[in-house]
């Protein structure tokens, strides 16, 4: 039992060290903030019109806040960022029924993430334009290659 | 201030974290190890003894299945696919016999079937697009011998002609309130009409109809159903399974090859060239509207459903609702297609007039064919599109029509059709708001549907009462009205739920007589509770925007603090893998007026709604030559 407690204490110390390093990682810097409500500047059922801001930020480093959509698997190398938390119900929705304002977030190679319900801040390079993810077949319009994902609350 | 945890730490911190968690896991393992016994006193290996392997599922037994199933009822002449399949066989069958009324299927149907082996342990025989033309009882037997195993199966079919009625209907309007079980109707009546000393000031349009029945909802595999299976029962007269539309489920993975049964949409077009309309507040590809025409084992195949809507035998003349995302080419923002087909253009080429806003709908006269798509996804609910009007919720869709306006336009168009029409109008979002436990949005949409029923009743009377109008739910939800909720004496939460005599009457006021109270968040609203739910927060107030009741934490769904987080936690009673309330099994109410409505007066199986519709129309399914269009 003494050994167990000792191991637990060491583990907690190491966790704190790791978190502290993470917080001191890449800073947000002067990356502009992009909000979900700023994606489109009109349109309707015949298709949406991308906003000038969204188009101008293509290829730029941006900051976005949102929630992780219900994940497809326990450890993620990508996830879908949404404006409000989603809980798609299997008999009234499907993965073909995502809202139109979502962001496909790719994590840095080799890094994974545990699913969370926290409000997230994502910093990374924005990519705009329809693209099909080769691994999942997921079709997305707006993507971020994340350099950092932080839980805000 | 950000006080967060870095979820993607640097490589160095990742190494620390991995080491930390490894140590934590080791520590936990030690702590949780039970006292060692003499037999297993060698440390942590006892964990292996502790581990409970999942009970092996029993090996599936050989089976012989005949589709359609036992006690299936057919309208004489209705088209269907016939299939016999033997599953889980030890070896391929050495003998295979099928008889229908004593004849081989080839002789009986006058067509050649196809024998297949979906796996090394199965055999199937399928006859496509066949019919039972003469009324009566048919005995179907099948026998398969595979090694030592002999399987025998026998079913009976009941084939009927339509029953002659005192008056025939020229048209049928089927209103489906998705999930609209009895308490939704009561809640809508209280909110919309109000009471005075216990008597309602007036009844709902859907109350004020001539006949009342109670309808069962179960499918062939389970007491609990979904909107695909249940709408399919209304549209075909056949039971099926969850997720299935116009098919019986077979043993292949392909959702498009399951044995089909003819839908009401196909039937009225084929036999009588009637007009057909589909009007919904959900996506037009959603289960309820799709059931009127479509054949698929999987309701979420929206793109395949769109392809079927373009088949001449499966095309409605009027289609209105949401779901334009499945029509837009992939390159257009908002599209959900995986190709660059533009289905708006394809419908226009086929002669459809297309509108996408309420303004455009109002400006449209009465074209022969109308496609109205007012949202990329589901339309917004009444409370959001007509009352609260929040920009974040409506986004680009600030000009959506109301359900009764869509119904009125459909009637303008169909009323011109000499051969009559079948119109299905769905309050599709009642269910979609009941799942996330948002009773106000569900009940306000019930009132929206009720106003559409009023439009139809008035139209039918003006035409000389030649139209059967049915109002029914497809399945139940567990909403229940406990009493009222009142914080006037300082109590809050469950202590402010007023019951029995203390409930008094809620203070919704509809002074302008439009059927909706002017104020949504009144001082004494209804106190609503749900019999099944996940963990969620309840504060008895109107949510300013629709929000999920749950969020995912690890493998479990937990209450979403963003939604009514100031309220009380309602501990879930569903498995923690569920993120919403689920359908319930109770029977649902049906009211009806017009010619043929007298058939609705007792407890009815849901498949009998189909037969009452075809009786009212006096359909002879042996007429008409156009069979199924292949949907593969």
How many residues appear in chain A? 153
Query: Which chain A residue has its CA at the smallest distance from B376's CA?
Result: A45
The CA distance from B334 to the nearest CA of chain A, in Å, is 5
End-to-end CA distance of chain B: 57
- Do the Cβ atoms of B330 and A108 come within 8 Å? no
Q: Which residue has the higher pLDDT, A131 or B172?
A: B172
**Distance separating alpha carbons of residues A86 and A102, to the nearest angstrom:** 11
Q: Tell me, yes or no, if B3 comes closer than 8 A to chain A by beta carbon.
A: yes
Q: Which residue has the higher pLDDT, A12 or A21?
A: A12
- Of A11, A87, A96, nearest to B557 by CB-CB distance is A87
**Distance separating alpha carbons of residues A141 and A119, to the nearest angstrom:** 22
The CA distance from B39 to the nearest CA of chain A, in Å, is 21
Which residues of chain B make contact with A92, given a CB cutoff of 8 A?
Answer: 227, 431-432, 435, 580
Q: Are A104 and A133 in contact (CB under 8 A)?
A: yes
| Residue B626: predicted pLDDT | 56
Strand, coil or helix: B617: helix
Radius of gyration of chain B (CA): 28
The CA distance from A11 to the nearest CA of chain B, in Å, is 4
- Domains of chain B by residue range: 63-160, 171-478+583-617, 486-570
H helix count then E strand count, chain B? 17, 27
- Do the Cβ atoms of A7 and B30 come within 8 Å? yes
Q: Tell me, yes or no, if B395 comes closer than 8 A to chain A by beta carbon.
A: yes
The CA distance from A14 to the nearest CA of chain B, in Å, is 5
**Phi–psi pair at B136, nearest 5 degrees:** 145, -175
* pLDDT above 90: percentage of residues in chain B: 86
Q: Tell me, yes or no, if B280 comes closer than 8 A to chain A by beta carbon.
A: no
- What is the pTM for the complete model shown? 0.88
Ranges of H-type helices in B113-212: 182-193
**Distance separating alpha carbons of residues A89 and A103, to the nearest angstrom:** 20
Taking CB atoms and an 8 Å cut-off, how many pairs form between chains A and B? 225
Convert the pLDDT of each residue in B542-552 to its tens digit: 999 999 999 88
The CA distance from A66 to the nearest CA of chain B, in Å, is 12
Which residues of chain A make contact with B433, given a CB cutoff of 8 A?
Answer: none
Convert the pLDDT of each residue in B183-213 to its tens digit: 999 999 999 999 999 999 999 999 999 999 9
The CA distance from B60 to the nearest CA of chain A, in Å, is 27
Which residues of chain A make contact with B21, given a CB cutoff of 8 A?
Answer: 11, 15
| Residue B559: predicted pLDDT | 96
| Residue A28: predicted pLDDT | 64
> What's the per-residue H, E or C state across B434-487?
HCCCCHHHHHHHHHHHHHHHHHHHHHHHHCCCCEEEEEEECCECCEEEEEEECC
| Omega before residue B136 within 30° of 0, cis | no
**Distance separating alpha carbons of residues B293 and B280, to the nearest angstrom:** 14
Paired strand residues for B65: B85
Q: Are B474 and B588 in contact (CB under 8 A)?
A: yes
| Residue B526: predicted pLDDT | 98
* pLDDT above 70: percentage of residues in chain B: 90
Q: What is the mean pLDDT of chain B?
A: 91
Structural tokens at position B270: 């084929």
- Do the Cβ atoms of B20 and A15 come within 8 Å? yes
Structural tokens at position B306: 């769109």
**Phi–psi pair at B130, nearest 5 degrees:** -115, 180
Q: Tell me, yes or no, if B431 comes closer than 8 A to chain A by beta carbon.
A: yes
Taking residues B588-614, what's their average pLDDT? 98
Taking residues A27-36, what's their average pLDDT? 84
Residue B227's contacts (CB-CB under 8 Å, 6 or more residues apart) are: A91, A92, B178, B179, B286, B287, B288, B291, B299, B431, B474, B475
How does DSSP classify residue A83? S
The CA distance from A60 to the nearest CA of chain B, in Å, is 20
Structural tokens at position B474: 């497809």
Ranges of H-type helices in B33-150: 46-50, 105-109
The CA distance from B561 to the nearest CA of chain A, in Å, is 10
At B154, which helix (H) or strand (E)? strand B149-160
- Of B377, B580, B582, nearest to A99 by CB-CB distance is B377
Longest dimension (CA), chain A: 67
**Distance separating alpha carbons of residues B596 and B591, to the nearest angstrom:** 12
Mutate to test the interface with B, among A39, A87, A123, A151 (most CBs of B within 10 A): A87
Convert the pLDDT of each residue in B491-546 to its tens digit: 999 999 999 999 999 999 999 999 999 999 999 999 999 999 999 999 999 999 99
Residue in the block written with tokens 């079913």 = B155
Taking residues A18-42, what's their average pLDDT? 70
Which residues of chain B make contact with A20, given a CB cutoff of 8 A?
Answer: 13
- Do the Cβ atoms of B30 and A116 come within 8 Å? no
ipTM surpasses cut 0.85? no
- Of A47, A87, A88, nearest to B551 by CB-CB distance is A87
Query: Which chain A residue has its CA at the smallest distance from B9's CA?
Result: A22
State how beta strands A78-82 and B211-215 pair.
unpaired
**Distance separating alpha carbons of residues B325 and B198, to the nearest angstrom:** 47
Which residues of chain B make contact with A141, given a CB cutoff of 8 A?
Answer: 333
- Of A10, A47, A107, nearest to B333 by CB-CB distance is A47
**Distance separating alpha carbons of residues B500 and B325, to the nearest angstrom:** 48
- CATH code at B171-478+583-617: 3.40.720.10
Q: Does domain B63-160 have CATH number 1.10.238.10?
A: no
Confidence of residue B29 (pLDDT cuts 50, 70, 90): very low
DSSP B107-156: HHHTS--EEE-SSTT-EEEEEEEEE--S-EEEEEEEEEEETTEEEEEEEE
Per-residue burial over B519-557, b = 16 or more CB atoms within 10 Å of its CB, e = otherwise: ebebebbbbbbbebbbbbbbebebbeebbbbbbbeeebb
Structural tokens at position B447: 């009132």
Does the pLDDT of residue A80 top 80, yes or no? yes
The CATH number corresponding to A30-151 among 3.40.50.150, 2.40.50.870, 3.40.50.720, 3.20.20.140 equals 2.40.50.870
Query: Which chain A residue has its CA at the smallest distance from B227's CA?
Result: A91
Q: Are B416 and B463 in contact (CB under 8 A)?
A: no
Q: Could you tell me the CA-to-CA distances from B518 to A86, B361, B387, B441 in Å, in that order?
A: 30, 26, 9, 15
- Domains of chain A by residue range: 30-151
Q: Could you tell me the CA-to-CA distances from B92 to B61, B66, B127, B294 in Å, in that order?
A: 15, 18, 20, 33
Ranges of H-type helices in B33-157: 46-50, 105-109
- Do the Cβ atoms of B579 and A4 come within 8 Å? no
Residue in the block written with tokens 């700023």 = A38
- Of B10, B322, B397, nearest to A21 by CB-CB distance is B10
Convert the pLDDT of each residue in B282-294 to its tens digit: 999 999 999 999 9
- Of B17, B330, B375, nearest to A15 by CB-CB distance is B17
Strand, coil or helix: A127: strand
Structural tokens at position A100: 């139109």
Q: Could you tell me the CA-to-CA distances from B497 to B190, B191, B482, B524, B538 in Å, in that order?
A: 17, 17, 8, 10, 12
Does the pLDDT of residue B558 top 80, yes or no? yes
């Amino acid at each position: 039992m003494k050994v167990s407690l000792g191991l637990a204490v060491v583990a907690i110390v190491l966790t704190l060290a790791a978190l502290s390093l993470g917080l001191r990682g890449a800073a947000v810097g002067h990356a502009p903030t992009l909000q979900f409500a700023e994606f489109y500047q009109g349109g309707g059922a015949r298709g949406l019109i991308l906003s000038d801001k969204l188009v101008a930020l293509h290829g730029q480093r941006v900051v976005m806040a949102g929630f992780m959509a219900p994940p497809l698997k326990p450890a993620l190398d990508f996830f879908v960022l949404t404006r409000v938390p989603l809980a798609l119900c299997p008999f009234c929705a499907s993965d073909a029924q995502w809202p139109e304002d979502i962001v496909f977030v790719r994590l840095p190679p080799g890094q994974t993430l545990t699913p969370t319900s926290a409000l997230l801040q994502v910093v990374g390079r924005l990519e705009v334009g329809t693209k099909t993810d080769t691994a999942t077949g997921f079709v997305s319009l707006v993507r971020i290659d994340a350099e950092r994902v932080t839980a805000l609350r | 201030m950000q006080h967060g945890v870095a979820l993607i730490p640097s490589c160095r911190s990742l190494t620390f974290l991995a080491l930390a968690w490894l140590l934590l896991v080791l520590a936990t393992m030690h702590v949780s190890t039970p006292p060692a016994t003499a037999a297993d006193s060698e440390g942590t290996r006892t964990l292996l003894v502790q581990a409970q392997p999942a009970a092996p599922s029993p090996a599936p037994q050989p089976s012989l299945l005949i589709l359609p199933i036992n006690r299936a009822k057919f309208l004489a002449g209705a088209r269907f696919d016939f299939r016999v399949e033997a599953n889980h066989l030890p070896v391929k069958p050495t003998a295979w016999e099928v008889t229908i009324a004593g004849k081989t299927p080839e002789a009986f149907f006058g067509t050649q079937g196809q024998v297949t082996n979906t796996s090394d342990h199965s055999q199937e025989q399928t006859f496509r697009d066949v019919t039972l033309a003469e009324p009566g009882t048919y005995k179907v037997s099948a026998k398969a011998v595979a090694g030592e195993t002999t399987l025998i199966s026998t079913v009976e079919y009941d084939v009927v002609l339509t029953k002659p009625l005192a008056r025939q209907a020229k048209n049928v309007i089927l209103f489906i309130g998705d999930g609209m079980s009895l308490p939704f109707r009561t809640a809508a009546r209280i909110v919309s009409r109000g009471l005075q000393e216990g008597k309602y000031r007036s009844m709902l349009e859907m109350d004020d109809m001539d006949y009342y029945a109670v309808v069962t909802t179960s499918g062939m595999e389970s007491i609990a159903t979904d909107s695909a299976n249940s709408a399919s029962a209304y549209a075909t007269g056949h039971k099926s399974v969850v997720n299935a539309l116009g098919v019986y489920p077979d043993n292949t993975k392909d959702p498009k090859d399951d044995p089909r049964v003819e839908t009401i949409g196909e039937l009225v077009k084929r036999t009588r060239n009637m007009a057909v309309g589909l009007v919904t507040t959900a996506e037009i590809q959603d289960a309820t509207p799709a059931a009127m025409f479509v054949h698929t084992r999987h309701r979420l195949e929206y793109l395949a459903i769109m392809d079927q809507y373009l088949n001449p035998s499966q095309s409605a003349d009027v289609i209105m609702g949401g779901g334009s995302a499945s029509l837009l080419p992939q390159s257009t923002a908002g599209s959900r297609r995986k190709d660059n087909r533009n289905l708006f253009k394809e419908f226009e080429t086929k002669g459809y007039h297309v509108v996408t806003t309420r303004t455009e709908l109002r400006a449209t006269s009465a074209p022969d064919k109308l496609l109205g798509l007012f949202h990329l996804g589901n339309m917004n609910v009444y409370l959001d599109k007509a009352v609260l009007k929040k920009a974040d919720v409506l986004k680009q869709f600030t000009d959506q029509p109301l359900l009764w306006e869509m119904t009125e336009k459909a009637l303008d168009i169909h009323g011109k059709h000499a051969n009559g029409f079948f119109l299905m109008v769905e309050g599709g979002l009642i269910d979609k708001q009941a799942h996330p436990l948002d009773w106000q949005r569900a009940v306000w949409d019930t009132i929206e549907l009720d106003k559409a029923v009023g439009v139809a009743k008035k139209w039918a009377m003006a035409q000389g009462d030649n139209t059967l109008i049915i109002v029914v739910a497809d399945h139940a939800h567990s909403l229940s009205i406990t009493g009222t909720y009142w914080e006037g004496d300082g109590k809050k939460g469950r202590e402010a739920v007023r019951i029995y005599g203390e409930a008094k009457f809620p203070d919704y006021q509809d002074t302008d007589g439009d059927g909706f109270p002017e104020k949504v968040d009144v001082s004494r609203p209804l106190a609503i509770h749900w019999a099944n739910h996940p963990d969620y927060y309840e504060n008895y107030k109107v949510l300013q925007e629709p929000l999920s009741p749950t969020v995912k934490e690890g493998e479990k769904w937990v209450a979403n603090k963003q939604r009514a987080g100031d309220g009380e936690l309602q501990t879930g009673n569903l498995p923690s893998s569920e993120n919403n309330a689920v359908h319930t099994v109770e029977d649902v109410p049906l009211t009806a007026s017009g010619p043929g409505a007298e058939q609705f007066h007792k407890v009815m199986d849901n498949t009998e709604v189909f037969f009452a519709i075809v009786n009212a129309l006096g359909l002879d399914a042996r007429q008409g030559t156009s069979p199924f269009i292949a949907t593969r």
